[in-house]
Amino acid sequence: MADSRDVVIIGGGHNGLITAFYLAKAGFKPLVLERRVQPGGAAITDEFHPGFRVSTLAHSAGPLRADVLQDMQLERHGLKLITPEASVVALSSDGRALTLYNDVRKSSQEIGNFSQKDAAKYPAFEQSLGKMGRVIGKALALAPPNIDNPTKGDLWGMLQTGRSIRNLGKKDMYRLLRWGPMAVADLAAEYFETELLRATIAARGIFGTFLGPWSAGSSLVLLIRAAADPRPAGTAWFAAGGMGSVTQAMAAAAKQAGAEIRSGAEVIQVRVKDGTATGVVLSNGEEISAKAVISNADPKRTLLRLVDPSYLSPDFVLKLQHYRMPGTVAKVNLALSGLPKFSALNGDGEALKGRIHIGPEIDYLERAFDESKYGNFSKQPYLEVTIPSLTDPSLAPEGQHVMSIYMQYAPYKLKDSDWESERVPLGDTVVKTLAQYAPNLPELILTHQIITPQDLEDTYGLTGGHIFHGELALDQFFTMRPLLDWARYRTPIRNLYLCGSGTHPGAGLTGGSGANAAREILKDLKK
């Protein structure tokens, strides 16, 4: 006889855990099924070399939405967030470094070493970005409205958002409407003349996407991220113990609220009867019936693999097949015997405590993107690097360090090869690129951990290797995420819901998708 539950949640990533928490607080008893040995999804910490631990995939928070952080009381469950004073240090090919800080005045002083004009404009740009970010943040916290038959709540939300936009004032309202469709390279160039500063800001509009800085709509990605953090180049948000500490605290909060979490439980099928989800089947043959099934997996994995597509209309299947999920990111983690010496920093270890940006010019970033368009990984890639052991010495033995590197662009589909053949060349390319800025890095490496886009799919369940469960683009945003008419966390199958990053707002490790989904799902469960 099948086990019976109120709610089953497929996947213990951060959005799944957040959804479980809110449902449990409302009196339901959700069961979270996680196929790996530990919950966490892309926010996990692993030991990849004896004594060396690292945030295996995501190495910084979104940051987390303030209401989620408060509601789950994550700090009471052991979470300690670390925000170094230096947000990002950008390294130039001519041996210079630009460090941006949490303090806008200090950032402006640093920018003044490159351009006094840019230094004067930077505070105003951050202020405008912050004002627009707050308006967008309100929209991101809402469920997308039902376009055909908006409810009173939908109409009220749209009215409030409209008022917020109007309250921006004529200048910023015009900017908001204009910036979204722009290429982020154009936006950065309108304000700044320093190429290194332009590239550092533009990178925030392309990170994790199949977009280059000259791609239309890349400014929208920057604006989405400004909703959580208004600083133009973003802030460094780390967790003591690595990003796994975030999801461990979430799991503890969900359990305390009344949720159950089961690891090593792989869901291979969602059972459907008469157009309604009735439960799930595990890889060991166990069946669990449920009044509602919620998937934290991406939309394609959920609706084209876990569900028999015959339960869906041909039109819906065709549209979902064209939902874009082209992974472009690889991850390289290094165990180091010492701290690398970056030529541009003259021993300034404080600057290394934030994020390290490798991508000195807009054209450098665009050329890196160009290679991926034709099925090749970038030979001079854009890199986002952190050395978390500088702020959290527990991650490595004394005097030694871990380095976490996001490499972009690495296309999921290679033209003339496969990722198993290209694994070592990818790692070599990343190290050679970094060695241009830190010449002693190669001699410090004790071991590599190289995670390709294929690994992201096979090991971590990210279809196409896409870290955001789908491209962040104008036609896959808000009422169109993942598809038009299906942006409210529900699916064409009754009692089957989505709560992962493939739903609105889908902007990384913020918790927005999980919190929004829980609110909408509760409306149905309480009926």
pLDDT in tens, the chain (527 residues): 468 999 999 999 999 999 999 999 999 999 999 999 999 999 999 999 999 999 999 999 888 999 999 999 999 999 999 999 999 999 998 999 999 999 999 999 999 999 999 999 999 999 999 999 899 998 899 898 887 788 878 778 777 777 887 888 888 888 888 999 999 999 999 999 999 999 999 999 999 999 999 999 999 999 999 998 999 999 999 999 999 999 999 999 999 999 999 999 999 999 999 999 999 999 999 999 999 999 999 999 999 999 999 999 999 999 999 999 999 999 999 999 999 999 999 877 899 999 999 999 999 999 999 999 999 999 999 999 999 999 999 999 999 999 999 999 999 999 999 999 999 999 999 999 999 999 999 999 999 999 999 999 999 999 999 999 999 999 999 999 999 999 999 999 999 999 999 999 988 899 999 999 999 999 999 98
Strand order in the sheet with 401-408: 97-101, 86-91, 355-358, 382-386, 401-408, 329-336, 445-451
Q: In sequence order, what are the beta bridge partners of 407?
A: 330, 383
Query: Nearest CA to 270 among 298, 305, 296?
Result: 305
pTM over 0.85: yes
Distance between CA atoms of residues 234 and 499, nearest Å? 25
State the DSSP code for 303.
I
End-to-end CA distance of the chain: 28
- C-alpha distances out from residue 197 to 172, 435, 496, Å: 22, 22, 45
Tell me the pairing of strands 329-336 and 445-451. Answer: antiparallel
Task: Output the pLDDT for position 154.
Answer: 78
Task: Output the pLDDT for position 162.
Answer: 78
The size of the chain, in residues, is: 527
Query: Could you state, in order of their start, the residue ranges of all structural domains in the chain?
Result: 3-45+57-80+243-324+462-525
Task: Output the pLDDT for position 458.
Answer: 96
3-45+57-80+243-324+462-525: which CATH topology? FAD/NAD(P)-binding domain (3.50.50)
Query: What are the residues whose beta carbons fall under 8 Å from the beta carbon of 147, sequence distance 6 or more?
Result: 479, 484, 485
State the DSSP code for 510.
T
Residue 348 identity: D
Query: What are the residues whose beta carbons fall under 8 Å from the beta carbon of 50, sequence distance 6 or more?
Result: none
Distance between CA atoms of residues 371 and 375, nearest Å? 7
Query: Nearest CA to 427 among 413, 445, 444, 414?
Result: 445
Contact 466, 298 (CB under 8 A): yes
Distance between CA atoms of residues 466 and 14, nearest Å? 16
Largest CA distance in the chain: 73
Span 407-433, pLDDT tens digits = 999 999 999 999 999 999 999 999 999
Taking each helix axis from N to C terminus, what angle separates 362-373 and 195-203, rounded to the nearest 10 degrees?
Answer: 40
Q: Which tokens go with 52?
A: 């060396």
